[in-house]
Structure 1
Amino acid sequence: MSFNPLEQRGIPLDRQVRNWRELNVEPIDPDRCDPYTRCRVITMNGIEVEAILFSHQLARHTADPEIKRQLARVRYIEAQQQKVVNWLLPGVSSVLETTIAYEQVAVDLTAWVARMEPDPYLQQAYQFGVLEDFDHLYRYANLYEMIEHRKAESIVDNLTEVMPGRPTRFHHRDAYDNVRDPYDRHAVNPLSKLHALTIMSAEQQTMNFYMNTGPTYMEPIARQLYQEIGLIEEEHVTHYESLVDPGETWWEQLVNHEYNECYLYYSFMEQESDPKVKAIWELHLNMELEHLRVACDLMRRHDGREPQEVLAPELPNVLTFEPNKQYLRELLATQMDLTTLGAGYVREAHERFEKMQEQIHGGEAPPSDRVMAGHDEMFGREYRVQSEGEHPDPAMREK
C-alpha cells in the first residue's frame, strides 16, 4: 500500500457541513451485520470523541482567537462525524449487548496492535492490558446470560473467544503502578505513535461509556459490575496515555490526531463489508484529509516545523479487525500471573498490590466474582465448558 495523506487533497472545509437528512444515517442491523463492522463503528466513535476532546483542550490553552476559531470550525465537523458514526449503532441493542461489543473491540483491537507493535516495551503494555479486557468480556458474558438469557457468542459470532482471562479481581492496583514509561518521540517508530493514540482513545471511550451507563441498570449485580470494571478502565486509560511522550507539542499532537484519523478511516474503508458503512468511511476519510492539511498549516505557523518531521511518509499497513484466538491463548499461557510494579511488570504480588487488594475488596468478594457465583447458582454450571487449549487448572483461571 502506498497512500500518503500529506499529498492528498480532501473536501474543502466549507463544503463539509451536512444537513439533518445527511446526518440521519441508517443504523446497522445487529442480527445480520458483520460483528467487525460494529467493532469498526465503536472504534471510530472513540477516535472521534478523542479528537473533539483534544481540540477543546488545545483551545483552552491558547489565547489566540484565530486559532480558537480555526479549531472550532474543524471541531464542529468532527462532532458531526462522531454523531454519524455513533448513530450507526442500532437502538434495538441493549446497553449490555453494546457493552459486549465494546469489549470485543478492546480484545481484538488491542491484540492486533500488540502483534504489530515494533517496540518491545510498548508491545508488553498492550499484551498486559488485553488479558484484562479479555476477562471483562467473560464477566459481562456471564451477566448477559443471567439478565437477558442469551449467549455473548450471538454478538461476537465466535470471532472472539469468550473465556476467562486474568481475573478481574486482580486488576485493581495502586495507581502508582499504573503509570508506564513514555516512548521517545525523537526515536520511536511513527507507527507506535498511531498505536498508542488509537488504544488510548478506544479505552477512554469505554471508560466514558461505563461511567455513564452503569447506573442505568436496575439489577444490583449489573450496577456493581459496571462500577468495578469502570474503575479498571480508568486504570487502563492511565496505563495507555502514559505511553505517549509528554514532550510532544500541542501542534505535534494535533497532526498526530488528524493523521491517525486518516489512517483508521482508510483502513476501515479498505476492509468494510457493508456498502453503506463503507461509503461513510470513504466520505470521512476525504474530510479528514482536509483536517490534516489545516493541522499541518497550524503546525508550520505556530511550531516552526514541517509535519513530515514527525509523521510517517505514508500510511502503514491497514489496521485490521480479525480473530486473534491463538495469539491470546499464547498470552494466557505465559502472562496470566503478571501484575505491575512501577513502570514494569512482575509475577509476584508486592506490598502495594496487596494493600490495594485489601483496601478495595475489604475482605469481600468483588462484583466480578459475585456475578460468576450468581451465574453458577442460576444455571448450575460455568458459562462455558473447557475447550481444547484452555488452561486446564481452574485455580489458575481465578488466580
Structure 2
Amino acid sequence: MTFNPLEERGIPLDRQLRDWSELNVEPIDPDRCDPYTRCRIITMNGIEVEAILFSHHLARNTVDPEVKRQLARTRYIEAQQQKVVNWLLPGVASVLETTIAYEQVAVDLTAWVARMEPDPYLKQAYEFGVLEDFDHLYRYANLYEMIEHRKAESIVDGLTEVMPGRPTRFHHRDPYDNVRAPYAKDETDPLSKLHALTIMSAEQQTMNYYMNVGPQYMEPIARRLYQEIGLIEEEHVTHYESLVDPGETWWEQLVTHEYNECYLYYSFMEQESDPKVRAVWELHLNMELEHLHIACDLMRRHDGRDPASVLAPRLPNVLTFEPNKGYLRELLDTQMDLTTLGAGYVRDAHERFESMQERIHGGEAPPSDQVIAQHGSMFGREYRVQTEGEHPDPAQREK
C-alpha cells in the first residue's frame, strides 16, 4: 500500500459542514446486511467518540483561545461524522442484538490486531483480552435466546463462533493488576500505536454503551448481566489505555488520533460490501485527511516538531474484519487459565486475585453464571451442543 495521508489533501474544512438532509442517512437492513458492515459501523462510532472526547480534553488543557477555536471547528465536524456513522445502525434492532454485534466487534477486531501486532508484549495484551470478550459474547447469546428466543448466530452469521471463553467470573481482578506497562513512544512501531488507540477506543465505546443501556431492561437477569460485564469493560479500558505511552505530548496524540481515523476509514472503504456505507467511509476519509493536516499544523506550531517523525510514512495494510476461528481456538487451548499480576500474566491465582473474587462475588454465583443456569432450566440444554474438536465448556471443567 502506497497511500500516504500526509501527502493527500482532503475536503477543505469550510466545505465539510452538512445539513440535516445529508446527515439523515438510511440505516442498514439488519436482516440482510453483511455482519461485518455492522461491525465496521460500531468500530467507527467508537473511533469518532474517542476523537471527540480527546479533543474536548485537549481544549480543557490549553490556555490558547485560538487553539480552542480550531479544535472546536474540527470537533463539530467530527460530531457530525459520529452521528452519521452511529445512525447507520437500524432502530429496529434490539439493545441485545446490538450488544451481540458489539461483542463480535470486540472478538474479531481484537483477534485481528493481536495477529498483526509486531510487539510481543502488546500482542499478549490483546490475546489476553480477546478471550474475555469471547466469553461475554457467549453469555449475551444465552440471554438473547432466553429473552428474545433467537440465536446469536442469526446476528454473527457463523463468522464468529459462539462458545465459552475464559469464564466471566474470573475477569474480576484487583484494579492494581489491570494496569499494563506502556509501549515506548520513540521506539515502538507506528502500527503498534494505531493498534493500541483502536482497541482502546472500541472498548471504551463498549463500556459507555453498557453503562447506559443496562438499566433499560426489566428482566432482573439482564440488568445484572449488563452490570457485571459493564464493570469488566471498565477493567478492559484500563488494561488497554495503560499500553499507551503517557509521555506522548498532546500534539503527538492529536496527530495519531487523526492519522488513525484516516487509516480506518481507508481500510473499511477498501473492503465495504454495502455501496451506501462505502460512500460514507470514502466521504469521511476525505474529511479526515484535512483534519490530519490541521492537526499537523498545530503540532508544528506548538510542539516544534515534524509530525512525520512520529507517524508512519504510509498507511499499513488495511485493517480487516474476517473470521479468526482457528486463532481463537489456539488461544483457548493455550491461554484459558491466565490472569494478571502487576503488569504481567500468570497461570496461578494469587492473593489479590482470590481476595477480589471473594469480595466481588460474596459467596453467590455471579450474573454471568446465573444466566447459564437459567438458560439450562428454561431450555433443558446447553446453549450450543458441542461438536468434535470444540473446546470444552470451562464451567464443566471447574466441576
Considering the TM-score relative to the shorter chain, is it more than 0.5? yes
For residues 259-338 of structure 1, the aligned pairs below 5 Å read: 259-338=259-338
TM-score, scaled to structure 1: 0.99
Gaps of 5+ in 2: none
- 8 Å Cα contact 2:51/2:257 also seen in 1: yes
Q: Secondary structure at the match of 2:354?
A: helix
Tell me how far 1:394 sits from its aligned partner. 4.9
- 8 Å Cα contact 1:339/1:346 also seen in 2: yes
Q: 1:191 to 1:397 in 2, by over 3 A?
A: farther
2:171, 2:388 → 1: CA distance? Answer: 26
Counterpart of 1:62, as a letter, is: T
Tell me how far 1:35 sits from its aligned partner. 0.1
Tell me how far 1:396 sits from its aligned partner. 6.1
Tell me how far 1:389 sits from its aligned partner. 2.2
Matched, 1:140 2:140: yes
1:35, 1:397 → 2: CA distance? Answer: 32
Aligned to 2:202: 202
Q: 1:398 to 1:231 in 2, by over 3 A?
A: farther
Matched, 1:47 2:20: no
- 8 Å Cα contact 1:391/1:397 also seen in 2: no
Aligned to 2:373: 373
TM-score, scaled to structure 2: 0.99
- 8 Å Cα contact 2:196/2:241 also seen in 1: yes
2:244, 2:397 → 1: CA distance? Answer: 32
For residues 128-167 of structure 1, the aligned pairs below 5 Å read: 128-167=128-167
Q: Secondary structure at the match of 1:5?
A: coil
Deviations 1:84-106 (A, max 9, x none): 00000000000000000000000
Counterpart of 2:374, as a letter, is: G
Q: 1:42 to 1:398 in 2, by over 3 A?
A: farther
Deviations 1:93-138 (A, max 9, x none): 0000000000000000000000000000000000000000000000
Counterpart of 1:170, as a letter, is: F
For residues 55-94 of structure 1, the aligned pairs below 5 Å read: 55-94=55-94
- 8 Å Cα contact 2:41/2:85 also seen in 1: yes
RMSD after superposition: 0.9
Tell me how far 1:390 sits from its aligned partner. 1.6
Tell me how far 1:388 sits from its aligned partner. 2.8
Deviations 1:50-102 (A, max 9, x none): 00000000000001000000000000000000000000000000000000000
- 8 Å Cα contact 2:165/2:394 also seen in 1: no
Tell me how far 1:387 sits from its aligned partner. 1.9
- 8 Å Cα contact 2:167/2:395 also seen in 1: no
Q: 1:285 to 1:39 in 2, by over 3 A?
A: same
1:182, 1:393 → 2: CA distance? Answer: 34
- In the alignment of these two chains, the number of paired residues is 399
Matched, 1:95 2:95: yes
Q: Secondary structure at the match of 2:345?
A: strand
Deviations 1:313-357 (A, max 9, x none): 000000000000000000000000000000000000000000000
Counterpart of 2:221, as a letter, is: I
2:191, 2:122 → 1: CA distance? Answer: 11
Counterpart of 1:56, as a letter, is: H
1:218, 1:162 → 2: CA distance? Answer: 25
2:266, 2:395 → 1: CA distance? Answer: 44
Q: Secondary structure at the match of 1:345?
A: strand
- 8 Å Cα contact 1:165/1:397 also seen in 2: no
Deviations 1:178-223 (A, max 9, x none): 0000000010000000000000000000000000000000000000
Q: Secondary structure at the match of 2:37?
A: helix
- 8 Å Cα contact 1:164/1:397 also seen in 2: no
Aligned to 1:232: 232
1:44, 1:279 → 2: CA distance? Answer: 14
Counterpart of 2:82, as a letter, is: Q
Counterpart of 2:117, as a letter, is: E
1:110, 1:387 → 2: CA distance? Answer: 25
1:223, 1:374 → 2: CA distance? Answer: 14
Residue identity over aligned pairs, in percent, reads 88
Matched, 1:243 2:243: yes
Counterpart of 2:302, as a letter, is: H
Q: Secondary structure at the match of 1:155?
A: helix
Counterpart of 1:313, as a letter, is: P
